[in-house]
Amino acid sequence: MTDGDTPPTTDTDGVATGRDGRADGPEADPDGPRRDTTAEDEPTEDASPTVVVDDVHRSFGDVTVLAGTSFEARPGTVSCLVGPNGSGKTTLLRVVAGLLAPDDGTVERRVEGERTVGYLPQTPSFRPQFTLSETLEFYGALTGVDVDAEAVLDRVGLAAVADRSVGALSGGMTRLFGIAQALVGDPPILVLDEPSSGLDPTTTEHVGSVVRGLADDGRTVLLATHELGTVDRIGDVVLVLNDGEIETAASPATLRRETGSETLVHAVSQYTASGDELTVRSEAWEEDG
């Protein structure tokens, strides 16, 4: 088990010249909420990591999805997992959330509490027969606490629709409600699978603000996303996943600097592309995104 303070960085030699700029959404919004980037440097490492993933392997049949993945995540930070479709992001998140056991390697969650991980699945869905409040109260009962549904919903901006049926929510609101659900029981680790996927720019920015705020409260946030604009805006660490391995782990600014890229899109593409061709593996398993 690694216990060093340096985020594990895999070999980045032989970086291919990738194509420039996938359509991953807008770059950083200058008016949106941002992480503290006064130093424009690596995130602070004075806090001990709360998530330590060490040499995790996971296969589905003959398809190897995670091939020795290692990284650490610390409280108060947003770690953004980026990579092409099929690179293993969802599988890695599910392993960290405890939903999937690794074939080999270890996952440590160095936290305490009744509920240690809050999880937002890629496509959140809840029983449509219930209101938002009722759903949160149900989840509160599973943790053994009386949940203040209104306060939790207020955190994500849904307090006004607390009594609305879950089935009547829009896609963006369902995703926000999924984040609210992840907060029930106040878990110190949040694992969010594409929290802003398919949302309009305004809602995307709102989701980013919410996620940033959750990290600023001291939570460890690990999210997967294709929205590199959001990553640039709220991310402390960018974990570039390619072919089941973390190619690099660095702040957005460092990533740009080290690759000589003006945009994060270009910087990330340096790690995920092979020649001019983006590496996208066939999706031989249903769950992975």
Partner 1 sequence: MSDARTESGSDGDRWPERDVGDRADALLAVAQREVDTLVRTRSYGALALGFALVVIGLPLAGDVAGYVPLVLDLSTTVEILVPVLAFAFGTWSVLADTHSGELEVIRTYPISRATYVLGTYLGRAVGLLAVVLAPLVLLGAAVPFVRDPASSVLVSHATVDSPTYFARFVALTSAYALTTLALAMAVSALARTRRAGVALATLAVLVVVFGFDALVLVGLAQGVLGGEALALALGLSPPGAFRGLVLATATGGVISTGPPAANPTASVVGLLWWVVFGLAVATLGAWSPGGR
- Within residues 3-42, the interface with partner 1 by CB under 8 A covers none
What is the secondary structure of 114-181 as a DSSP string?
S--EEEE-SS----TTSBHHHHHHHHHHHHTS---HHHHHHHHT-GGGTTSBGGG--HHHHHHHHHHH
* Residue tagged 């160095």 (tokens): 110
CB of 249 to partner 1, least distance (A): 21
CB-wise, 93 or 250, nearer to partner 1? 93
User: Any contact of residue 172 with partner 1 (CB under 8 A)?
Assistant: no
3-state secondary structure of 249: strand
Cα–Cα distance list, 181 to 74, 109, 153, 190, 253 (Å): 22, 20, 9, 11, 32
- In the set 12, 27, 130, 281, which binds partner 1 (CB under 8 A)? 130
Question: Judged by CB under 8 A, which of 123, 174, 197, 209 binds partner 1?
Answer: 123
Q: Does 100 bind partner 1 (CB under 8 A)?
A: yes
Q: Decide: helix, strand or coil at residue 105.
A: strand
**In what helix (H) or strand (E) does residue 46 lie, and over which residues does it extend?**
none
In the complex, the smallest distance separating the C-beta of residue 147 from partner 1, rounded to whole angstroms, is: 11
Interface with partner 1, residue 74, by CB under 8 A: no
**By CB under 8 A, is residue 121 in contact with partner 1?**
yes
Stretch binding partner 1 (CB under 8 A), from 66-74, 175-183, 224-232, 275-283: 175-183
65, 107, 153, 207: residue in contact with partner 1 (rule CB under 8 A): 107
Phi, psi of 88 (to 5 degrees): 110, 15
Residue 69's DSSP bridge partners are 56
Among 5, 36, 142, 200, binds partner 1 (CB under 8 A): 142
Spell out the residues 6+ positions from residue 160 whose beta carbon is closer than 8 angstroms to its own.
Answer: none
Shortest gap between Cβ of 103 and partner 1 (angstroms)? 6
User: Residue 169 has which token pair?
Assistant: 């929510």
Is position 98 an interface residue for partner 1 (rule: CB under 8 A)? yes
Q: Are 31 and 41 in contact (CB under 8 A)?
A: no
Taking CB under 8 A as the binding criterion, the range among 18-26, 64-72, 132-140, 195-203 that sits at the site for partner 1 is 132-140
Taking the C-alpha atoms of residue 257 and residue 264, their distance in angstroms, rounded to an integer, is 10
| Residue 141 Cβ vs partner 1, minimum distance, rounded to whole Å | 3
Task: Give the one residue of 36, 40, 44, 101 binding partner 1; rule: CB under 8 A.
Answer: 101
Q: Does 50 bind partner 1 (CB under 8 A)?
A: yes
Interaction of residue 144 with partner 1, rule CB under 8 A:
yes
User: For 21, phi and psi rounded to 5 degrees?
Assistant: 85, 95
User: Which stretches of the chain bind partner 1, using CB under 8 A?
Assistant: 48, 50, 94, 97-119, 121, 123-127, 129-130, 134, 138-139, 141-144, 178, 181-182, 184-185, 187
